Amino acid sequence: MSKNTKEKNSDSKYWKEFINNPKEIYDKDKVLNKDQNSSRKFKFDFHGFKIDDANKKVEQLINTCHAKGFGEILIITGKGIHSNNENDVYSSKEHNKLQNTLPEFIKNNPDLISKITSIKLAPAKLGGSGAFVIKLKKL
């Protein structure tokens, strides 16, 4: 018997075992559907946004994500360390950064806060003090 014949017989044997033992088959569609049905997450980066534009956008994001059944929104604001507003006499260090103003805007908007269960600082692996996580109520 030649080498090719031995390989073909060996492959045939493994193939038959594989066909007869379907529990070893990985079903990626089942896993993907499971992940989609669990807490769906949305992420948005606000780098470069001005406060007024960011407020409008975050309102739109929360309303849209809530309507579409997302469970969580990761809002990336950055830490504001590159902000050029420090020399502006009309703004404060605390209130000129999105990381401070966006959560306040959300908390002071009754329509938005009614769709939210919590707003928390993001864990370090998701941005730490340069991001926060909004948990949305289920429809």
**pLDDT tens for each residue of the chain, 139 residues long:** 455 555 566 778 777 777 777 665 665 555 544 444 446 899 999 988 888 999 999 999 999 999 999 999 999 998 766 555 555 443 445 556 788 899 999 999 999 999 999 999 999 888 888 899 999 998 8
Contact 117, 136 (CB under 8 A): yes
Q: What is 85-131 written as a DSSP string?
A: GGG-TTS-TTTSSHHHHHHHHHHT-HHHHTTEEEEEEPPGGGTGGGE
Contact 89, 68 (CB under 8 A): no
pLDDT, one tens digit per residue, over 12-28 is 877 777 777 766 566 55
Model pTM greater than 0.85?
A: no
pLDDT, one tens digit per residue, over 37-58 is 446 899 999 988 888 999 999 9
Distance CA 65, CA 58 (A): 10
Q: For the chain, what is the total number of helices (H) and then of strands (E)?
A: 5, 4
pLDDT of residue 39: 62
Q: Where are the domains of the chain?
A: 39-136
* CATH architecture of residue range(s) 39-136: 2-Layer Sandwich (3.30)
pLDDT of residue 91: 45
